[in-house]
Amino acid sequence: MTELATAKLSVKALRRSYDNTHAVSDIDFQINQGEFVVLLGPSGCGKSTTLKMVAGLETPCSGSVELDGRDITHLPPGKRQLAMVFQSYALFPHLSVAENILFGLKARRTPADIQQSRLADVVALVNLSDHLHKKPSQLSGGQCQRVALARAIVAEAPLCLMDEPLSNLDAKLRNDMRAELRAIQRRLGMTLLYVTHDQVEAMSMADQIILMNQGEIVQSGSPQALYNNPASTFVAQFIGSPPMNLMNADNLILGVRPEHIHRDINGYPASVVTCDYHGADTIIEVELHDFDQQRIKLRHPGHLTLVPGSAFPVSWEKQYEHYFSCSDGQRINAPQTHSTHQTTTSEMTHVQAL
């Protein structure tokens, strides 16, 4: 199968309000050709509304959407040259797999020989060759998802939109489909805008993550950039599992990720609260003494069994510290007066574990 036509998407000052509620507030972003971009955020943050405005399923109050330099803001969905994969798959139950895949091409009166050529290519790509005559009710969840993906690919649209397409699958199948989807996207050079609330999906698949909260973009960049340099405490809490530990110290918020905290006989005195064994590692929650008995989490390689209440002093290195403003939670430069894990107990007033 030939590479799909790709496109550059440009969203400028896009806004959508419902009565007095701003679902999306003047957001801007761009997607380059062949890029896998994920709109990520908690429920109600505006990511699906943004996707629907790009698709033409929602009308923006203001702003514009351009595809390859062409303004499509007010075009109907059928005129936008987009493909879309829905959370519910949206398959026709009375049609076979082949008929579902070709439905859009038939509606556009694509010549029959082109339909069959594209069908042969795409079913081989998504491993559906043995299921063409089956109905959706005869397929597994993963196979239904492949049919929906094949229908989007066969259209050879310059931009593909996906709205939480893996959320209905079980954990193992979701992992498998993530790998398959990313491999297909890279092989075909698809330009893809993908919506999810699952940060693992975003981190494992995206070239660029656009993290949203309350209708606004709080940070965008590569998965590594958001993980290693969170722009705010919100980003630090949302990206990472377990999320970053946040501690108020020296009139600022100090952040340290769980994998950068380790047991240290000369470190902060602490006692074990819980041990959560995950197979490859153990997540240990400890209670820090002299800091209002607040709790933080650390990641320990392998299996470790600890008695609750037992001593477990901890420390971390300065290079792994992150600093945020107490007033607005935004990232700030390292203060000159702040030391590292050697800060005395009188200098730290509170620890908040998230």
| Domain 9-228 top-level CATH class | alpha beta
Q: CA 65 to CA 332: how far, in whole Å?
A: 33
Q: What is the DSSP-derived secondary structure letter of residue 61?
A: S
2: confidence class by pLDDT, cuts 50, 70, 90: low
166: confidence class by pLDDT, cuts 50, 70, 90: confident
| pLDDT score at 227 | 97
Question: Which of the listed ranges 92-96, 122-126, 292-296 does the model predict with the highest average pLDDT?
Answer: 92-96
| pLDDT score at 230 | 97
| pLDDT score at 1 | 55
Radius of gyration of the chain (CA): 24
Tell me the residue length of the chain.
354
**pLDDT beyond 50 at 338:** no
Q: CA 153 to CA 2: how far, in whole Å?
A: 11
**pLDDT beyond 80 at 352:** no
**pLDDT beyond 60 at 140:** yes
Query: How distant, in Å, are the alpha carbons of 93, 163, 172, 345 from that of 134?
Result: 10, 25, 24, 67
Which of 73, 51, 67 lies closest to 6 in space, CA to CA?
67
**pLDDT beyond 50 at 340:** no
- In what helix (H) or strand (E) does residue 346 lie, and over which residues does it extend? none
337: confidence class by pLDDT, cuts 50, 70, 90: low
At residue 326, φ and ψ (nearest 5 deg) are -70, -25
Whether the full predicted model's pTM is greater than 0.85, yes or no, is yes
Rounded to the nearest integer, the mean pLDDT of the chain is: 88
**pLDDT beyond 60 at 263:** yes
- By DSSP bridging, strand 192-196 and strand 36-40 are parallel
Domain boundaries, the chain: 9-228, 242-352
CATH 3.90.330.10: does it fit domain 242-352?
Answer: no
Two tokens, residue 139: 């397929």
142: confidence class by pLDDT, cuts 50, 70, 90: confident
Question: How many degrees, rounded to 5, is the angle at CA 120 between CA 118 and CA 121?
Answer: 65
Q: Which whole number is the average pLDDT over 183-204?
A: 92
Share of the chain above pLDDT 70, in %: 92
| pLDDT score at 347 | 41
pLDDT per residue over 50-77, tens digit each? 999 999 999 999 999 999 999 999 999 9
**pLDDT beyond 90 at 346:** no
**pLDDT beyond 90 at 26:** yes
| pLDDT score at 349 | 40
Q: Which whole number is the average pLDDT over 99-123?
A: 90
